[in-house]
């Protein structure tokens, strides 16, 4: 391939970048709070709620994301007209599927963070006269967040790479354009370009989380 061809191919691949970034941002914004809510509900005093949340996490983590996307995109519209209307756009299906799936993983990450908070911390808060809400907000959550952060970094890097799955429901992204370029040019160089694009994206992400980790260190 000539240099101009490589440039043109890179440009073609970058057309998929918008999809990757949209997916990443929306899914992070939706699934982090949802995951946190699930963690809280999993500690709920009402047993059926705990069971429900645990069943949800069990199913979401125990089945392939691609099948979940298939189910939402091809399956749900057959259930009733509401789903048919709401899930018209493939992107909506992808955002929904990814958010629900990643929330389950984040819930477990937050749970791990909570487990790391020593019992003594709760007792200390009691001695200081803090109520339940104060204890959670000022003592437990900051410590939980710090422990959970490296795992959150890990999950978000995986998310960037997982966006390549959306082609199974006909959304075009970087890897798809790379495949199209490979079949057009007969050279596998477009894959190398895709490789670099994903790596660049994750480098930015890594820098951000490194900064955040430093910021939250105490």
CB of residue 24 vs another protein: minimum separation in angstroms? 17
Among 9, 68, 101, 163, binds another protein (CB under 8 A): 9
Which one of the spans 19-27, 43-51, 122-130, 134-142 is the region binding another protein (CB under 8 A)?
134-142
- Other C-beta atoms closer than 10 Å to the C-beta of 55 total 10
Site for another protein in 174-193 (CB under 8 A): 176-177, 179-188
Among 154, 170, 203, 206, binds another protein (CB under 8 A): 170
Return the number of the residue (3 or 183) whose C-beta is nearest another protein.
Answer: 183
CB of residue 119 vs another protein: minimum separation in angstroms? 20
> Collapsing DSSP states into helix, strand and coil, what is residue 105?
helix
Distance of alpha carbon 5 from the chain centroid:
34
Answer for the pair 196, 204: CB distance below 8 angstroms, yes or no: no
Angstrom CA distances, 193 to 2, 5, 18, 158, 167, stand at 14, 12, 16, 19, 18
Q: Which residue has the tokens 């997916």?
A: 23
If we measure between CA atoms, which residue out of 22, 19, 28 comes closest to residue 155? 28
Angle (CA) 32-35-39 rounded to 5° is 135
Which one of the spans 55-63, 122-130, 170-178, 195-203 is the region binding another protein (CB under 8 A)?
170-178
Q: Which residue has the tokens 């819930």?
A: 107
Q: Which residue has the tokens 């994903």?
A: 198
Answer for the pair 108, 61: CB distance below 8 angstroms, yes or no: yes
Q: Say how far apart CA 159 and CA 178 lie, in whole Å.
A: 19
CB of residue 206 vs another protein: minimum separation in angstroms? 20
Among 17, 26, 70, 209, binds another protein (CB under 8 A): 70
By CB under 8 A, is residue 215 in contact with another protein?
A: yes
Pair of tokens at residue 77: 């519209």
If we measure between CA atoms, which residue out of 180, 176, 205, 178 comes closest to residue 194? 178
Site for another protein in 18-47 (CB under 8 A): 29-30, 32-34, 36-37
| Count of residues that interact with another protein, criterion CB under 8 A | 47
CB of residue 202 vs another protein: minimum separation in angstroms? 23
Angle (CA) 23-212-134 rounded to 5° is 100
Write each residue from 136 to 155 as x if it is in contact with another protein (CB under 8 A), else as -, in one continuous string: -xx--xx--x----------
Return the number of the residue (140 or 201) whose C-beta is nearest another protein.
Answer: 140
What residue ranges bind another protein (CB under 8 A)?
5, 8-9, 11-12, 15, 29-30, 32-34, 36-37, 70, 74, 77-78, 80-83, 86, 137-138, 141-142, 145, 167-170, 172, 176-177, 179-188, 215-216, 218
């Amino acid at each position: 391939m000539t240099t101009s061809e490589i440039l043109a191919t890179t440009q073609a691949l970058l057309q998929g970048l918008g999809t990757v970034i949209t997916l990443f941002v929306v899914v992070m914004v939706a699934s982090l709070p949802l995951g946190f809510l699930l963690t809280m509900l999993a500690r709920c005093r009402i047993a059926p709620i705990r069971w429900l949340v645990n069943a949800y996490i069990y199913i979401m983590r125990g089945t392939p994301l691609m099948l979940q996307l298939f189910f939402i995109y091809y399956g749900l519209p057959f259930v009733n007209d509401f789903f048919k209307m709401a899930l018209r756009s493939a992107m909506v299906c992808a955002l929904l599927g990814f958010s629900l799936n990643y929330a389950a993983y984040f819930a477990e990450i937050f749970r791990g963070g909570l487990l790391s908070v020593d019992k003594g911390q709760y007792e200390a808060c009691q001695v200081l006269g803090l109520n339940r809400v104060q204890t959670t907000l000022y003592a437990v959550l900051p410590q939980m967040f710090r422990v959970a952060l490296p795992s959150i970094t890990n999950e978000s890097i995986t998310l960037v790479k997982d966006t390549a799955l959306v082609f199974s429901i006909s959304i075009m992204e970087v890897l798809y354009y790379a495949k199209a370029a490979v079949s057009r040019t007969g050279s596998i160089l477009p894959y190398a370009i895709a490789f670099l694009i994903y790596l660049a994206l994750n480098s930015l992400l890594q820098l951000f989380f490194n900064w955040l980790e430093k910021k939250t260190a105490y």
